Amino acid sequence: MFSFMPKMLRFQRSFSVSPFPTLPLQLPSPMETHLWFVVPDEFKSVSLLNQYMELLSPCEKENVLSMRGEQLQKSALLARTLVRTTIARYQINNRVVDPRSLKFKRNVHGKPELEWESDGGQCPSPLHFNISHTSSLIACGVTVNSSIGIDIEEKQRKIKNNILAFARRYFSLHEVEHLSAISDSEVQRQEFVKLWTLKEAYVKALGRGFSAAPFKTFTICIKNAFRTGFDHADDIESGASEVVVESSDHPERLTNNWQFGLFELASSHYAAVCMEKDKTSDAGMSAPMRLTVRKTIPFVEDECISGTDAVVPIAGLIEQF
């Protein structure tokens, strides 16, 4: 069991959570995503972890404690803390939010959503979020009035099975053909992980889950760059790397209402963001996704890393802020 847990349980009545240390942030604008992430290995303070535990609901605390092993408990705690403290940074409907007061629900497919109440009662929240994590990094993406899905994968993720055999099981025929054309096994593995990251983000943005939107039913394409792979620098620099989705059953049908961004994060991960395009804009226009990325230790420090070597665009139309 986590070493900080007994202390937390023993002193929770007298423990006081510090006021949220930052002024409310401006909400993301249309076609803008804010991505916040934490690195679990950087969290060493028992008192800080105790403070995070106090932010959680009774059900969340129970879920954290039910995890087997200290690392899984810590990861679960940081994931819920990141969601609560990230949302609480934004002033929604002219209200400053206490991270402890936030309530959540799940849609019919199990995707977590913010449960928002106004003076007139319960209403849909303008703020959308999605979370993804590996053992070494946890990220939360935020948009306003646009559904969002994010996925992060370790760049060195190992594939236990034969990559092409695994791809044939989950990927579309077009994607399998793309991977089959790559002779270098390491490049093939990297391309597989990038494709998986994009497909996962899309399914999460739909809010349906893997079972309701199997990976085989759609194809991820990079306009004018798909056959040469994601690392074709000329295509990316010329702005020809827009990511689109097409139906595997009807290849002529492109899904134009989603915007993608694929990038390297912290030199160690691939990160993909999929967000619904602004409904008020021209569906035929391909405006860049505005992206702001911050690394955080909640209550301690935040660091904006957009535009640095820590965020390297790979595919999709991305404009960093």
Q: How many CB atoms neighbour CB 58 within 10 A?
A: 7
Is residue 165 within 8 A of residue 201, CB to CB? The reply is no
- Tokens standing for residue 94: 């002219």
The alpha carbons of the chain give a radius of gyration, in whole angstroms, of: 20
Strand 289-297 to 269-276 pairing: unpaired
pLDDT per residue as tens, the chain (321 positions): 455 554 443 333 333 445 454 567 889 998 899 999 999 999 999 999 999 999 999 999 999 999 999 999 999 999 999 999 999 999 776 777 899 999 998 887 788 888 876 655 556 678 999 999 999 999 999 999 999 999 999 999 998 889 999 999 999 999 999 999 999 999 999 999 999 999 999 999 998 766 656 888 899 988 764 444 444 434 333 344 789 898 766 555 556 789 999 999 999 999 999 999 876 655 445 688 999 999 999 999 999 999 999 999 999 989 998
Calpha distance 39→22 (Å, rounded): 20
Q: How far is CA 307 from CA 65, 88, 301, 311, 317, in A?
A: 38, 25, 19, 6, 14
**Which domains, ranges and CATH numbers included, belong to the chain?**
32-228+238-320 (3.90.470.20)
Q: How many helices (H) and strands (E) does the chain have?
A: 8, 16
